[in-house]
Amino acid sequence: MHVPADAEGMSSKGDPEYRARRRERERRRRAEQQRAASRRDAPPATPSVHAAMDGPTRRAAATTCGWCHDPITPGSRGPIPKWCSATCRHRAWEQTRAARSGRSAVEVVERVVVTPAPPAPTRAPRHGEWVDVLRELAGQIDRGLVYHRELPEVARAVDEVIAAFRRRPYRS
């Protein structure tokens, strides 16, 4: 690719002078943030009414998020934020809206519920073990603990058990 002679020096991002200016701007920004943080941490020296209304004191007014209590870094201009992110702002709005409508906020709690599995029957079952297993299966189906999509497969297995029962010669 041929670059015209007058366009050779037009790139600015790879230019060492550009990078130096950028580093200097970043260094100044960080220094200003540190100065603002030290002013925030220092005890106020009899602030006047006007000093409390504008300037760095006003900017440092909201330091934690109103929802999650994470720190907020206010910008040098614009409105002073109350929340650290749009997500926290939306959650606060949702709760305010629910409170206005007379509904209370619901906290969803997730927990793991462990239900012990019945022991699998052995090859040489004890007296009544198969009966207990079949009754447990019937109870789980009645309570809705077996997924609907699994019912046809369970029905086929039960049909196989009944067919095997009928093929077996009766012994007394």
What number of H helices and E strands is found in the chain? 6, 0
Beta partners for 71?
64
Nearest-angstrom CA–CA distance, 40 and 55: 12
pLDDT interval class at 127 (50, 70, 90): low
Report, in angstroms and rounded to the nearest whole number, the Rg of the chain calculated over CA atoms. Answer: 36
Residue with tokens 């201009």: 77
Q: What is the pLDDT of residues 29-64, one digit of tens each?
A: 888 888 888 777 766 555 554 444 555 555 556 678
Q: What is the pLDDT of residues 77-87, one digit of tens each?
A: 888 788 888 89
The structure tokens listed for 156 are 């086929």
Give residue 59's Cα distance to chain centre.
30
Q: What is the pLDDT of residues 67-104, one digit of tens each?
A: 888 888 777 788 878 888 889 889 888 888 887 887 76
Nearest-angstrom CA–CA distance, 99 and 102: 5
Nearest-angstrom CA–CA distance, 142 and 96: 42
Structural contact between residues 72 and 81, judged by C-beta atoms closer than 8 angstroms: yes
* pTM confidence score: 0.30
